Amino acid sequence: MEQVQAPSHLAEAPARARSRWLAPLEPVSANTRLLLGLGFFALFVLVWAAFTLGGYVSPTFLASPMTMVKEGWLLFTEHNFIHDIGMTVWRVFGGFILASVIAVPLGIAMGAYKGVEAFFEPFVSFCRYLPASAFIPLLILWAGIGETQKVLVIFIGSVFQIVLMVAVTVGGARRDLVEAAYTLGAGDRGIITRVLIPGAAPGIAETLRLVLGWAWTYVIVAELIGSSSGIGHMITDSQALLNTGQIIFGIIIIGLIGLVSDFVFKAINRRLFAWSSI
């Protein structure tokens, strides 16, 4: 009502400024964004500190933020935690890269050729629902408790997902671009290498980024069982010692590494496929 009665633009401006915070879809500035994002982290730690330091929770079950930081420091200085981190990262990337090398070409073939898709798709869809963690006992039987087993868990968890998502991306290529390429003299090979693959590339990269995130959750499960190194192994060890500070520190490290790798992946994608975000 106020806005209708307002005689000029000058009178309208303050009314808008007041309601801005509550207006749906109203963008916020970059600084506000950062501040709000960090704000929740701070609030979270504050509540955690209040509960633990205030004596509401027994230190046996939940360490305080300070204990957590102290334990974390000890992990690096006394327990060679950097080695565990290195092992975990190696396993994730080993399994993930192995899965990508096999899954991306297969997914492209399935997306491009309907016969190949009809052959593989039902089986891959079935395998996608098999939980990677349920394979751990079997993989231990087959491959022992060494690195092969860890890498295979990641591989099984990632490969089927990547195949299906890549196939869908490639199969969803714009038909009018394919037709245009045909009328420009492209052959079947040209259609795949010069239209389907470059057109699907940003989508494929996005799929890989997503699946890498999932691979992080599989690796910890793999390391919780029958392992002698890695972040997951450290967490199981700490559980036996009731050291909740170390457990939480391990979880936070996993989150941080995931965040950083995601950020790097996003930056690379943006750079490689600048055209798709114009």
Partner 1 sequence: MSQLSIQGVSRTFDTGKGKRTQALLPVDFEVNDNDFVTILGPSGCGKSTLLRIVAGLERPSTGRALLDGRPVQGPGADRGMVFQSYTLFPWLTIAQNICFGLRERGMGAAEQKERSDYFMAKVGLRGFENHYPKQLSGGMQQRTAIARALANDPKILLLDEPFGALDNQTRVLMQELLLGIWESARKTVLFVTHDIDEAIFMANRVAVFSARPGRIKSDIAVNLPHPRHYTIKTSPEFMDLKARLTEEIRAEAMAADH
Q: Which residues bind partner 1 (CB under 8 A)?
A: 176-177, 179-187, 190, 194-195, 198-199, 201, 273, 275-276, 278
> CB count, 10 Å around CB of 106?
18
Q: Which CB, 9 or 271, lies closer to partner 1?
A: 271
Shortest separation between residue 208's beta carbon and partner 1, angstroms: 18
Q: Find out whether 164 and 107 touch, Cβ atoms under 8 Å.
A: yes
Q: CB nearer to partner 1: give 86 or 198.
A: 198
In the complex, least distance from residue 205 CB atom to partner 1, rounded to whole angstroms: 13
Which of 170/219 has CB closer to partner 1? 170
Residue placing its CB nearer to partner 1 in the complex, 77 or 183: 183
CA gap 151, 270 in Å, rounded: 29
8 Å CB contact between 95 and 152: yes
Complex with partner 1: residue 143 or 177, whichever CB lies closer: 177
Classify burial at 82, counting beta carbons within 10 Å of its beta carbon; exposed 0-12, middle 13-18, buried 19 or more: exposed
Burial class, 178, CB count within 10 angstroms (exposed 0-12 / middle 13-18 / buried 19+): middle
CA-CA distance, 110 to 118, in Å (whole number)? 8
In angstroms, give the least distance from the CB of 105 to partner 1: 20
Residue partners of 187: CB distance under 8 A and separation at least 6: none
Smallest separation (angstroms) from partner 1 to the CB of 249: 44
* Shortest distance in whole angstroms from residue 180 CB to partner 1: 4
